[in-house]
Structure 1
Amino acid sequence: MKRRDIIEFEVGKMEFGGTSVSMLGNREIHMKGGLTGQKVKASVKKTRSGKADVKMLELLENSPMETVTPCKHFNACGGCSMLSVPYEKQLEIKEKQVMDLFLNQDIFGFQFQGIEGSPQERLYRNKMEYTFGDEVKDGPLTLGMHKKGRHIDIVTVDGCFLVDQDFIKVLTSTVEYFNEKDLPYYRGMSHKGYLRHLVVRKGVNTKELMVNIVTSSQVDFDMTEYKEMLLSLDTDAEMASILHTINDGLADAVQCDELRVLHGRDYINEELLGLKFTISPFSFFQTNTKGAEKLYTMAREFVGDHSDKVVFDLYSGTGTIGQVMAGAASKVYGIELIEEAVVAANNNAKLNGLTNCEFVAGDVGKTVKNFKVKPDLIIVDPPRPGVHKDAIRDIAGFGAKEIVYISCNPKTLVLDLVEFKNYGYEVEKVKCMDMFPNTPHVETVVKLKKI
């Protein structure tokens, strides 16, 4: 077997994160994507001793697990790799994948409380970031998601199962409107063009909608008519915020050089477990609102009685978890790197009348060691790369009796748990929460106790 060879095989074991490992003869085949039992055709990208990395070219035969009819974009869009699998089976797969990661790091002896399913397995997303482009070269304007395995081609996902009809109406009306205007979309290779992204956010519990059209500054276009078109849509939620973001950055990401408010305000409101939060166009908020309520309730149960305790909320974002815990705590201190999120967290605390919350901006690994206060409880909710080793050392140095770790990436979670063990913390209990049905991702909550 050598590079660029075309091979056919049956997909074997699915690993966390959407990869698979199969056997072909005596060689281990690693591939992005794939469901156990599928038969696929793939191209060899790289070989090494006893192993090969391949890219799927064609699905030859479905897996016996695939008994659900997916959306019409399933084979083109790369968003929902498990949509064709019954939801209960998805939960089984994710639970086993997480437990395998724990066993591979020899983490034993804890109470495993299984996996909680999302309250909604479809229509659960409160945010979508769409990209302008075309599905085929020089074809009509499209607006949606990147095609599976492609960096350029965009498919208009007007039949997406993850969002409700408000998202679909905004998406389809926007692409129809700009198709008529014949404006060029922004091309990442040449950095020329105008239309870049469309970001839609929804307050699920407040019924407020935000639409943010993102363009370059290369065309002077009046968005008044577009705004009026959006306001004429028959949406379930109130059109509370229509924004125009100017972004001349070179990266294929939504950044802001200038923000123009076309209608309403530059934020929407949301409510979570009885608390109020303002969501700006660029602030982080869990994309599954009903799932987040379940996740934070789970974390609160893991924390248990924390009355009159000092709580550290590390990687605090907009302060959601810290504020959920603030009702019984004597004091909550939050640390977050992104200054805008810290401002939002402090504003949200004021909005909720919480006088015992204080959020500060800084890198957790550097800022936490400067705190003079000793915490009784530490909550850690890091980004996907996990917690830096130096930060683990400093966090453990406080000697808190309990640490609750909320992870969006169990691969880095288990590595961090090994590090915490070196500082005298053992895993007491673990529970998974499926925040992202039909995708390979899952959240995991862990309670650590000081030995």
Structure 2
Amino acid sequence: MQCPYFDAYRCRSCTWMGRPHGEQVADKERHCRDVLGERDDLTWLPPVSGRESGYRNKAKMVVGGTVDQPTLGILDAEGRGVDLEGCGLYPDDLGATFPVLAAFVTRANLTPYDVPSRSGELKNLLVTLSPDGELMLRFVLRSQEPVARIRKHLPWLLDALPSLRVASVNLLPDHKAVLEGEREILLTADETLRMRLNGIDLHLRPQSFFQTNTQIAAALYRQATAWVEELAPASVWDLYCGVGGFALHCAHPDRDVTGIETSAEAIASATLSAADAGLTRVRFAAGDATAFALGAAAPPELVIVNPPRRGIGEELSRWLESSGVRRVVYSSCNAASLARDLAAMPSLRPRRAQVLDMFPQTTHYEVLTLLERV
């Protein structure tokens, strides 16, 4: 893949841009193998790759420029907007929304937030595309002042983007280098975007996390489900469950599945998905994964963990080591933190692993590992 923004040094976010895709995937697997170390009893499954461009289901567009000439993209070193509406990482259905959204900024008189002067209102536009081509749009604002204008012109936007199902405002009043704030104001009757993967409907609320690459996320869930079905545990915990992707895929009439996640929004999404699917033996609860494990009366037969980049940490690793849990499915986006966690639970040995190219054109990837107690 070649990118004119990268070649012109306007955006260098994709550090591996221009490298052959197959070479990227091979290097990611090589890196993961090196970090985890040589293990005679570890079987590596073939790496999973998909599209090298047009793969992102979510656009995180920083808004810069002016009301009349807004930019959607990133900020440069001076905090000025760099327009990336033609970024090749986005599929056509997502890229087609950007000119419409830029026009809406002008129509609704939404002043882009200017970082150097700390003035203006509209900070980011967050757009998510479902596998069915439906959209969720979030306006990240400094205050509620523009909300009335957004509501006034929303019918125009819904007409211009007929696939738009969920729209909301997120309030981020602080001058911080973060993507969003805590408070969300829904603008549409629909509250969730339906993300259909492998025949399973996952409901996504505005503040819920979902994997960036739909194609690779589906493969990730399929592989984890295949391992779980092969092992046939009677009880499963899905820790750091997000909107319940692993838990819902692993549901079975003869299996109790529990999902734990700190985000109440994600748990609301997961609970709705389970209810829609009629899964009576799948339950979700908001809470800290480590605290839940340490406070449980008894461990399950299998634990799935899908932590953030920092990993599961020493405390949960120690609990897993001493818990008697026979098997763990560990999905990691950071091989270094995975290696640290593995070192803290030596009785749970990695038996199978697979690298998934979740983030083409970058050094990042996902690795799925099956651990078994020795």
Q: TM-score, normalised by structure 2?
A: 0.90
- Determine if contact 2:64/2:75 at 8 Å carries over to the other structure: no
Question: Could you say what secondary structure the match of 1:321 adopts?
Answer: helix
Q: Cα distance, 1:279 vs. partner?
A: 0.9
1:444 aligned to 364, 367, 371, which one? Answer: 367
Query: Of 357, 360, 364, which residue of structure 2 is paired with 1:434?
Result: 357
SS in 1 for 2:345: helix
- Greater strand proportion: 1
Name the aligned partner's letter for residue 133 of structure 2. Answer: K
Q: Is the 8 A contact 1:279 1:285 kept in 2?
A: yes
Aligned AA for 1:215?
L
Provide the aligned C-alpha RMSD in A. 2.5
Partner of 1:167: 94
The superposition leaves residues 372-391 of structure 1 with CA deviations (integer Å, 9 ceiling, x where unpaired) of 13311111111100011111
Residue 155 (structure 1) aligned with residue 82 (structure 2)? yes
2:111 to 181, 184, 188: 184
For 1:365, what is the secondary structure of its paired residue?
helix
Find out whether 1:425 has 2:351 as its counterpart: no
Give the C-alpha shift of residue 77 in structure 1.
1.6
Please give the residue correspondences for 1:259-274 in structure 2 after superposition, counting only pairs within 5 Å: 259-261=185-187, 263-274=188-199
Matched, 1:141 2:70: yes
Deviation for aligned residue 1:427: 1.6
Distance in 1 of aligned mates of 2:286 and 2:105: 40
What is the aligned partner in structure 2 of residue 292 from structure 1?
Answer: 217
Residue 275 of structure 1 and its aligned partner are, at CA, apart by 1.3
Cα distance, 1:410 vs structure 2:
0.8
The 8 Å contact of residues 80 and 114 in structure 2, kept in 1 or not, is answered as no
Higher relative CO (Cα under 8 Å, sequence separation at least 6) belongs to 2
Runs of at least 4 residues off by over 6 Å = none
TM-score (norm 1): 0.76
> Alignment length, in residue pairs?
371
1:69 matches 2:41: no
Q: What is the rounded CA distance, in whole Å, between the counterparts of 1:357 and 1:181 in structure 2?
A: 44
What is the CA deviation profile of residues 85-123 of structure 1, one whole-angstrom value per residue up to 9, with x for unaligned ones?
Answer: 1211111111111112122xx6554112231112x2221
Q: For 2:341 and 2:233, locate their aligned partners in 1 and report how far apart those are by CA, in whole Å.
A: 28
Counterparts in 2 of 1:184-263, with a 5 A limit?
A: 184-188=111-115, 190-204=117-131, 206-217=132-143, 219-220=145-146, 222-224=149-151, 226-233=153-160, 238-252=163-177, 253-261=179-187, 263=188
Once the two structures are overlaid, the 10-residue window that deviates more, 238-247 or 86-95, is: 238-247
Question: Residues 125 and 137 of structure 2 are in contact (CA less than 8 Å); yes or no, is this contact kept in structure 1?
Answer: yes
What does residue 131 of structure 1 align with?
62
Shift of 1:394: 1.3
Deviation string for 1:409-442 (max 9, x for gaps)? 1111111111111xx1212121111111112110
Say if 1:311 and 1:329, in contact at 8 Å, map to a contact too.
no
Higher helix proportion (structure 1 or 2): 2
Q: Deviations over 1:331-379 (max 9, x none)?
A: 0122212222222222221111111112222222222111113311111
Provide, for residues 21-72 of structure 1, a one-character-per-residue CA deviation record: whole Å limited to 9, x for no partner. xxxxxxxxxxxxxxxxxxxxxxxxxxxxxxxxxxxxxxxxxxxxxxx53344
Which sections of structure 2, spanning at least 5 residues, go unmatched?
Answer: none
